[in-house]
Every structure is written in structure tokens, then in C-alpha cells.
Amino acid sequence: MPDRVRCGERSSWVRQIGSLTITVGFVVVIGASVSSSEKFRVEFVCSGNTCRSPMAAHLLGAALDEAGLGETVSVGSSGTVAEPGAGMDPRAAEVLGITGERGSHAARRTDPGELAAADLIVCMGARHLAQVEQGLPTQRRATVLLMSSFDPAAADGADIADPFHGDLGRYQETRSALAAALPGLLARIRAGLAAGR
């Protein structure tokens, strides 16, 4: 039998018994394997996908590169009420030190079908977590958690504050809250990679 087959793939199994050759053809319909070359997927979710979730994605991306994991982990973000195509809020970009790259972010509306293929979905608030859980199919590989759950100093169930209507100081506070959760999130990602997901 082949070592690795995927859902929907046609394959066959051949066995020689004396002068008799038995060939069995089949199509795999369940038990699709995960290729070792497939990246571990992390998706951040907030409301508008212009502040918290892209900030988190930027910070995690930098931390993954520094840890030598940038090639094995894919990071994305979306918003439950995002206006598709909107750029990152200039204040968010400023506290991250992003200048020319700001235009590369385009807000995406959260799509349950896309999220279901992620390994880890990290929500900025309890409302986002509830909306994501409600929209995801029962059969999925994604684990859904709050960003604050990775910060041992954060209160249980705490939201990462939305800085959208605030001044630059609010954005700096949000950046600090996200950064405080990064070590725990990195540890969770490492554990997922070590376990083969």
C-alpha cells in the first residue's frame, strides 16, 4: 500500500501470491494525511482587521523569523466585520515601526471555510471567539483560543483592548498586550509543530 495518500486520490495496491497477482484500486475518501511540508497555520481574528489582528500577525511574524520558524509557520489575519481591502490603521503601523510596508496589508473578512483549515485561530476578544466557534464546521483541525490566554499575567477571558477610537497611547498599550502574549503563543506553536500539528 502506498506510504502516503490524500483524500480523493486514486491509488492501488498490488500483491503477488505465487503465480497470482492481485491488484486492488481504490479512492481515498477519509483519513487524509497532512504533508510534512505543509506549513502550520495561525490566523488572528479581530473586528475590522486594521488594528489588533494585523498588529498581532506582524509581531508574530517577526518573532517567528527570529526563532528560525518563519519558513514553517504561515500567519494571517481577518476581521469579523472587516471592509475588504482596507489598509492597516496608520497609528497601528506607527507603533510597529512600519513605514513603506503599510500598503501591503489589505483587510479580509473572516471566512469560516478558510479558518477551518488553520491549525490555530487566535481571537482578540470573547465576542470574536464566539462568532468564530459558531461559524466553524464541527469537523476541523483548528483550535480556537483568546490571545490573552497566552499571557500568564492577563485575567481569564480578557480581551485585547481595541484601540481604534483612541490616541497613539492606546495603540502602544495594545502593542504591549500583544507582545506580552507572544512567548506563550510561540510555545504553543512549537508544541504543535513537535506533535505534527
Q: Residue range 103-116: average pLDDT?
A: 88
Site of grid cell 481591502:
85
Do 168 and 72 fall into the same domain? yes
Q: What angle do CA 32, 38, 42 make, to 5 degrees?
A: 105
Q: In this structure, are residues 109 and 82 in contact, taking their beta carbons and an 8 Å threshold? A: yes
Q: Which three cell numbers stand for residue 87?
A: 489598509
Do 61 and 99 fall into the same domain? yes
Do 46 and 25 fall into the same domain? no
pLDDT in tens, 127-148: 999 999 999 988 777 899 999 9
Q: In this structure, are residues 94 and 172 in contact, taking their beta carbons and an 8 Å threshold? A: no
List CB contacts of 93: < 8 A, sequence separation 6 or more. Answer: 99, 101, 102
- Catalytic: 162? yes
Q: Is 152 helix (H, G, I), strand (E, B) or coil?
A: coil
Do 105 and 161 fall into the same domain? yes
CATH number for the domain spanning 77: value is: 3.40.50.2300
- Residue 5 structural domain: 1-33
- Catalytic: 46? yes
Interatomic CA distance for residues 106 and 143, integer angstroms: 25
- Predicted confidence at residue 141, as pLDDT, reads 77
Do 8 and 75 fall into the same domain? no
- Predicted confidence at residue 34, as pLDDT, reads 39
Do 24 and 49 fall into the same domain? no
Do 80 and 130 fall into the same domain? yes
Residues shown for the chain: 197
Q: Residue range 150-171: average pLDDT?
A: 96
Do 23 and 56 fall into the same domain? no
147: Cα separation from own chain's centroid: 12
- Predicted confidence at residue 100, as pLDDT, reads 57
- Predicted confidence at residue 113, as pLDDT, reads 87
Do 49 and 6 fall into the same domain? no
Going by DSSP bridges, is the β-strand pair 120-123/73-79 parallel, antiparallel, or unpaired?
Answer: unpaired
Annotated catalytic residue, options 46, 151, 159, 188: 46
Annotated catalytic residue, options 102, 109, 140, 162: 162
Q: At what angle do helices 52-66 and 168-194 cross, to 10 degrees?
A: 50
Q: How far is CA 97 from CA 58, 59, 168, 175, in A?
A: 11, 11, 13, 11
Q: Is 92 helix (H, G, I), strand (E, B) or coil?
A: helix
Q: Which three cell numbers stand for residue 84?
A: 475588504
pLDDT in tens, 173-196: 999 999 999 999 999 999 999 998
Annotated catalytic residue, options 41, 51, 52, 175: 52
Do 3 and 92 fall into the same domain? no
Do 141 and 118 fall into the same domain? yes
Q: Residue range 114-123: average pLDDT?
A: 94
How much is the CA Rg of the chain, to the nearest whole Å?
21
Q: What angle do CA 129, 92, 96 make, to 5 degrees?
A: 110
- Predicted confidence at residue 137, as pLDDT, reads 85
In this prediction, residue 38 has a pLDDT band, given cuts at 50, 70 and 90, of confident
- Predicted confidence at residue 147, as pLDDT, reads 98
Report the domain count for the chain: 2
Do 12 and 66 fall into the same domain? no
